[in-house]
Structure 1
Amino acid sequence: MIRFENLSKGFWVAGERKTVIDNLNLTLPTGKSLGLLGCNGAGKSTLIQIIAGILPPDSGRVVSDGSISWPVAFGGSFHPELTGAQNVRFVARIYGVDTDSLVDFVEDFAELGKHFKMPVRTYSSGMKSRLTFGTSMGIRFDTYLVDEVTAVGDARFRNKSRLVFRDRMQASSSIMVTHNMREMRDFCDAGIILDGGKLYYFDDLDEAIDQHEALMRA
């Protein structure tokens, strides 16, 4: 369960205040994998970062009764001067998981080769995404926050990412942002739309996608 209580967030843009989350009160159901939809600039990434605890809201709070991953595509949690392996060890200690097991999993999954033992500042954006995705998949969370990450890499690596993510979804749920509606239908049970600072829940994913596409046309 994830519950938003009087949640608000806004930014100053060109001298004007833009509210992207407006006094949000909503409880997301337990055990549902949700596709997060909304027009460009609606605030989807902002909401994901608030749920993860990376970005503080202006007011209100997020309440959860389970563990939540960091945004899978977000590499800001990794120190650029540490190697990939050192970063993974640090994350393992924070989350209380077996260090060697997590390092072994990420090294095998991310396929970074010698770069795994090089500073993260030398990584390309794709390499950072592989490291981030591999680290998050190596830790069992109740809810995974995912932002387009299964699009990283070549076709073989994308397929491997989908397979491991599908395996995690056997026991966990997710909130997924993707522009690929086929992928959303593959992984999600229901949908939520962020529009005008408000969040709308749809138990029928196809209904959510239809409503989203109508908003995009408008």
Structure 2
Amino acid sequence: MTTTTDTAQPRIIVEHVSKWFNKRSSRSMKDAFINVVRGRPVRSQQFQALNDLSFMIGEGESVAVMGLNGSGKSTTLKLVSGVLEPDEGRVLTRGRVAGLIEVGAGFHPDLTGRENVFLNAAILGMSEAETKERFDEIVAFSEIGDFIDQEVKHYSSGMFMRLAFSVAIHVHLDVLLVDEVLAVGDAPFRAKCNAKLKELAAQGVTMMVVSHSKGQVKDLCTRGIVIKKGVKIFDGPIDEAVEVLEGK
């Protein structure tokens, strides 16, 4: 089953995408180095992470990409974000895209939280004037407090996540990509994040969510895409997608 949006223009198009990675036979970088020094061949084999994957996400849709570990869902998200490029096929996005792919991605450890807010906002396409206008909101939502002027190398992973999430959701965005990043942090902050995501969805922001939390995806998304070993096996209503994932 395949679901597309007939009335809305697509924000994300994934068209016949395949992706391979090299899987080296050496057990570690040390083993690989020793093999090179001794003139032994460093063998590698290709692992296909995605196989001819196609789907479209329409403007204003909230879609979960689901699958077991190693299924290819995070690879899909990284391709849509532009972090990776497909080996075959193409990925197209329309509008400003913000991605919460990895906790603290794009943060410079030797810069303060304040400096990293401006750096990350610029990476996401915000002007300095826009960032200044929204700076107090960003800091308030992140609950960083006085740590905003500390170097981020002293932050915990939870503080990284809160600040990164806060910057991303305060950008004027059209598409928000969310990986398992919301699994980090305490329960009250996760609840606040989910409420903010619902608010963005109600405002018409297109969302693509990767999460192991069946409750979260049911709460946030109306549609689910299930991937198994790099192949799409289902695309349809979120309740049915969860059942497919559970093998029902």
Distance 1:213 1:149 in 2: 22
* Deviation sequence 1:47-74 (CA, Å, 0-9, x none): 1111111122223321122222122544
Whether contact under 8 Å (1:33, 1:189) holds in the other structure is yes
Distance 1:150 1:55 in 2: 22
* Residue 202 of structure 1: aligned partner: 235
* Residue 214 of structure 2: aligned partner: 181
Whether contact under 8 Å (1:102, 1:135) holds in the other structure is no
Aligned length: 215
Distance 1:73 1:112 in 2: 19
* Residue 94 of structure 2: aligned partner: 65
Pairs within 5 Å for 1:99-178:
99-171=131-203, 172-178=205-211
* Residue 17 of structure 2: aligned partner: 7
Distance 1:131 1:202 in 2: 33
Q: Which moved more, 1:123-132 or 1:158-167?
A: 158-167
* Residue 48 of structure 2: aligned partner: 19
Q: Which moved more, 1:156-165 or 1:194-203?
A: 194-203
- Aligned AA (2:14): F
1:144 deviates by 1.0
- Aligned AA (2:185): G
* Deviation sequence 1:164-188 (CA, Å, 0-9, x none): 2211111212111112111111100
The verdict on how the C-alpha distance between 1:92 and 1:188 changes in structure 2, with shifts beyond 3 A counting, is: same
Gaps of at least 5 residues in structure 1 are none
1:40 deviates by 0.6
1:190 deviates by 0.3
Gaps of at least 5 residues in structure 2 are 1-9, 26-43
Whether contact under 8 Å (1:52, 1:71) holds in the other structure is no
Distance 1:30 1:190 in 2: 13
SS of the aligned residue for 1:214 comes to coil
* Residue 28 of structure 2: aligned partner: none
User: Is 1:214 the counterpart of 2:220 in the alignment?
Assistant: no
4+ residue segments displaced more than 4 Å:
none
Q: Which moved more, 1:66-75 or 1:121-130?
A: 66-75
The alignment yields a C-alpha RMSD, in angstroms, of 1.9
User: Is 1:96 the counterpart of 2:111 in the alignment?
Assistant: no
Distance 1:42 1:104 in 2: 39
Could you tell me the TM-score, scaled by structure 1's length?
0.89
The verdict on how the C-alpha distance between 1:80 and 1:176 changes in structure 2, with shifts beyond 3 A counting, is: same
SS of the aligned residue for 1:115 comes to helix
Identical aligned residues as a percent: 34
- Aligned AA (2:91): V
Could you tell me the TM-score, scaled by structure 2's length?
0.79
Whether contact under 8 Å (1:39, 1:195) holds in the other structure is yes
* Residue 191 of structure 1: aligned partner: 224
Distance 2:223 2:92 in 1: 20
User: Is 1:42 the counterpart of 2:75 in the alignment?
Assistant: no
The verdict on how the C-alpha distance between 1:123 and 1:35 changes in structure 2, with shifts beyond 3 A counting, is: same
1:200 deviates by 4.5
Distance 1:149 1:140 in 2: 20
SS of the aligned residue for 2:46 comes to strand
The verdict on how the C-alpha distance between 1:59 and 1:120 changes in structure 2, with shifts beyond 3 A counting, is: farther
